[in-house]
């Protein structure tokens, strides 16, 4: 997994070194990169026929996992609010 | 934002499907391996670059105080526990389900990251879980605000610093801006690290 942390760390160091440069707008680059990433993700899913057939099952599992994560998140925030008093 | 992402996902899926029907393995290798990994690394690099360049990001975070860190911390814990419980209910690998829920709604990161760690089928699940989380934040906000003032922020997870921020501020009031933004900021920074950390439990 180090190959994923390395670009992140290099980015932080490069950003820190470039922090006094005139402001560079990176939002368009981020947006373009996200679209490229999502396109290639869609491409990988689309070219995998086994995966396409398993979609209905994935959808149900996704809903259960999502609702479970969301329920515990809200519950924990309510408890933390009572304990920390904010 | 969601509109363009759905279009890119749909176009990619259609292109991939048509490509596999025509049996062009060279194009599949280029997009699935090279383009996918290159854009993921580029995205991680630019996220790091933005964090390093923004002189105020760290100061903003310090100014709001440690109390504001309580919300993203318990949201992270709740999401991971939710992943464990959900994984047990469904009978799937709990390390995978916990890692997926540690995306905190950031589907553009979690989907590709889970693909690389656990393979394409789990990647689809990782994408769907977190995509549904963002959709749920936007569609249920008027109901959730009645349960708790912080409920929309808890549900939004990592998305509360960008995509769901305008919606949250509109429903929860302008004073929720700092808590929503810092919650999303902390969870966005935490997401890649917690996913990788949970995946290493395998």
Q: Cβ distance B148 to B37 under 8 Å?
A: no
Using CA atoms, how far apart are residues B56 and B103, in angstroms rounded to an integer?
25
Q: What's the rounded mean pLDDT across residues B153-171?
A: 86
Same domain, B24 and B80: no
Residue A25: domain span: 1-53
Cβ–Cβ contact A59 with B under 8 A: yes
ipTM above 0.85, yes or no: no
Same domain for A69 and A81? Answer: yes
What is the pTM assigned to this prediction?
A: 0.73
CB-based contact A72:B151 (threshold 8 Å): no
The answer on B162 and B91 residing in a single domain is yes
Q: Summarize pLDDT for B100-153 with one digit per residue, the tens.
A: 999 999 988 898 999 999 998 899 899 889 988 988 888 888 889 999 989 999
Q: Do B133 and A66 touch (CB under 8 A)?
A: yes
Number of domains in chain B: 2
Q: Which domain holds residue B170?
A: 56-199
The answer to whether B107 and B123 have CB atoms below 8 angstroms apart is no
Closest Cβ opposite residue B100 in set A37, A65, A79: A65
Whether pLDDT at A1 is above 50: no
Which residues in chain B have their CB less than 8 angstroms from residue A3's CB?
41
Q: What is the pLDDT of residues B75-87, one digit of tens each?
A: 999 999 999 999 9
Neighbours of B53 (CB within 10 A): 21
Confidence of residue B91 (pLDDT cuts 50, 70, 90): very high
For chain B positions 41-70, those within 8 Å of chain A (CB to CB) are: 41-55, 67, 70
- Chain B residue whose CA is closest to A7: B45
Which residues in A lie closer than 8 A to residue B151 (C-beta atoms)?
74, 77
Query: Do A1 and A16 sit in the same domain of this protein?
Result: yes
Residue contact A65–B28, C-beta within 8 A:
no
Tell whether the torsion through CA atoms of A28, A30, A36 and A41 is positive or negative: negative
């Amino acid at each position: 997994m180090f190959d994923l942390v390395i670009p992140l760390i290099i980015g932080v160091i490069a950003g820190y070194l470039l922090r006094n440069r005139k402001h560079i707008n990176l939002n368009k680059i981020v947006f373009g990169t996200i679209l490229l990433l999502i396109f290639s993700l869609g491409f990988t899913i689309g070219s995998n026929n086994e995966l396409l057939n398993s979609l209905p099952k994935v959808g149900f599992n996704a809903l259960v996992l999502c609702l479970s994560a969301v329920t515990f998140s809200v519950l924990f925030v309510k408890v933390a609010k009572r304990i920390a008093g904010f | 934002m969601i509109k363009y992402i759905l279009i890119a996902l749909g176009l990619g899926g259609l292109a991939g499907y048509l490509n596999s029907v025509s049996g062009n393995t060279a194009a599949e290798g280029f997009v699935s391996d090279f383009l996918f990994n290159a854009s993921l690394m580029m995205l991680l690099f630019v996220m790091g670059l933005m964090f390093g360049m923004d002189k105020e990001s760290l100061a903003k975070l310090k100014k709001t105080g440690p109390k504001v860190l309580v919300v993203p911390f318990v949201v992270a814990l709740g999401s991971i526990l939710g992943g464990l419980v959900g994984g047990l209910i469904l009978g799937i690998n709990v390390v995978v389900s916990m890692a997926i829920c540690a995306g905190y709604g950031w589907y553009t990161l979690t989907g590709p990251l889970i693909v690389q760690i656990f393979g394409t089928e789990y990647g689809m699940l990782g994408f769907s879980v977190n995509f549904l989380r963002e959709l749920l934040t936007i569609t249920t906000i008027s109901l959730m605000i009645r349960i708790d003032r912080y409920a929309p922020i808890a549900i939004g997870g990592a998305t509360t610093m960008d995509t769901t921020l305008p919606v949250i501020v509109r429903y929860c009031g302008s004073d929720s801006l700092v808590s929503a933004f810092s919650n999303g900021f902390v969870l966005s920074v935490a997401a890649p690290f917690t996913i990788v950390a949970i995946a290493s439990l395998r």
